[in-house]
Amino acid sequence: MRILSGIQPSGTLHIGNYFGMMRPSIELQQKGEAFYFIADYHALTSIHDAKLLREYSRDVALDFLACGLDPARAILFRQSDVPEVTELAWLLSVVTPMSLLEKCHSYKDKTAKGIAPTHGLFAYPVLMAADILIYQSDVVPVGRDQKQHVEVTRDIAVKFNAQFGEVFKLPEPQIREAVALVPGSDGQKMSKSYNNTIEIFGDEKALRKKVMGIQTDSQPLEVPKTDLEKNPAWLLLKLLASEPAFAEMDRKLRAGGTGYGDLKKAVFENYWAYFAEARKRREGFLKDPSVIDRVLKEGAEKARPVARATLDRARKAVGL
């Protein structure tokens, strides 16, 4: 089984990225041949600062390694170190109906958030299809917001195969329902673009402040709490705490006499403990950052021949 996923280096990674994409990817690295990449071509749709893009790309690699990505098991690389993918994107684009891209939510969502409505942003799903298809991927672990893109990928692959002969495997998205949508501090989807994130790594004091700032309703301390399933702090504790610790806090809240301040304190403590080991590993990598460059270089060397082989088949199929 080949597993593939990508993440854009468009900002600092947060625990929504971790639970939705990174943790499932890291778990899957044991189960097959894993290809994980830093989608820097994609990030160019929103970042036009060369220094920043380079920094974010290395930071994503660092954070992924710190969180447990094992380069001995999974191939980690920069998307742009395998430029074959952009040529495949062109070959796919000639069988991609405009209507398929017009249906995509992400273009509408992103332009609504102020990202420039460029051709690159509109054609983003075609490049993502090329990413997935060029490695003949079976499984794509992502958060729920990427499901449509994997479906578009399948549609494009079916069209290409029907027109030019069987070149591509059809991939399946893998979405864990329990973590498909991690809420941010305001209760909306946690996202870099909503200013509601809790980063995986960062300064303790600043992060404590963010956690204590999670929005809640105004039920007073004494009353038995209701509607907890809508409370972002409760939802986050469920992800971060052990089952018995979560059950105990849940019981206390429902009994009354325990307030949201206590809940948020528990969220912070569990969050800080949850990533303690990763934080230590990250400090280790920071002592010798050349490891990151080496991992990315070796990753690209392994990924590129696989991509080249698929691209050659696709070129031949279309008559180039």
Quick check: 175 and 41 in contact, CB under 8 A? Answer: no
What number of CA atoms fall less than 13 Å from residue 113's CA on the CB side? 14
Taking the complex as a whole, how short is the minimal distance between the CB of residue 46 and ligand ADP, in angstroms? 9
302 catalytically annotated = no
Pairing between β-strand 33-38 and β-strand 172-174 as defined by DSSP bridges: unpaired
Q: How far, rounded to the nearest angstrom, does the alpha carbon of residue 30 sit from its chain's CA centroid?
A: 19
Of 50-58, 82-90, 139-147, 274-282, the segment contacting ligand ADP by CB under 6 A is 139-147
**Residue 116 has which token pair?**
């420039």
Closer residue to ligand ADP, CB minimum distance, 144 or 159: 144
Size of the residue set binding ligand ADP (CB under 6 A): 21
Binding mask 41-80 for ligand TRP (x = CB under 6 A): -x--------------------------------------
Quick check: 151 and 129 in contact, CB under 8 A? Answer: no
What span, in angstroms and rounded, lies between the C-alpha atoms of 279 and 132?
A: 31
Cβ partners under 8 Å of residue 255, min gap 6: 224
210 catalytically annotated = no
Query: Which of ligand TRP, ligand ADP, none sits in contact with 42, Cβ below 5 to 8 A by type?
Result: ligand TRP
Name which of residues 159 to 188 contact ligand ADP (CB under 6 A). 179-182
- Give the residue among 173, 175, 178, 195 at the shortest CA–CA distance from 186: 195
One of 3, 128, 175, 190 touching ligand TRP (CB under 6 A): 128
Cβ partners under 8 Å of residue 25, min gap 6: 3, 5, 34, 36, 69, 74, 141
Quick check: 291 and 66 in contact, CB under 8 A? Answer: no
Of 11-19, 93-101, 108-116, 304-312, the segment contacting ligand ADP by CB under 6 A is 11-19
Buried-exposed string 116-131: b where 16+ CB fall within 10 A, e elsewhere: eeeeebbbbbbbbbbb
Quick check: 318 and 175 in contact, CB under 8 A? Answer: no
What span, in angstroms and rounded, lies between the C-alpha atoms of 44 and 119?
A: 12
One of 29, 57, 80, 146 touching ligand TRP (CB under 6 A): 146
Binding to ligand ADP by residue 152, rule CB under 6 A?
A: no
One of 34, 76, 190, 228 touching ligand ADP (CB under 6 A): 190
Taking the complex as a whole, how short is the minimal distance between the CB of residue 28 and ligand ADP, in angstroms? 13
Three-state secondary structure call for residue 141: strand
316 catalytically annotated = no
Binding mask 242-281 for ligand TRP (x = CB under 6 A): ----------------------------------------
Of 56-64, 191-199, 226-234, 282-290, the segment contacting ligand ADP by CB under 6 A is 191-199
Binding to ligand ADP by residue 236, rule CB under 6 A?
A: no
Residue with nearest beta carbon to ligand TRP: 6
What span, in angstroms and rounded, lies between the C-alpha atoms of 224 and 208?
A: 26
**Residue 270 has which token pair?**
């569990």
Closer residue to ligand ADP, CB minimum distance, 173 or 299: 173
One of 3, 22, 39, 89 touching ligand TRP (CB under 6 A): 39
Binding residues for ligand ADP (CB under 6 A): 7-8, 10, 16-17, 19-21, 142-143, 145-146, 179-182, 189-193
Residues noted as catalytic: 110, 189, 192
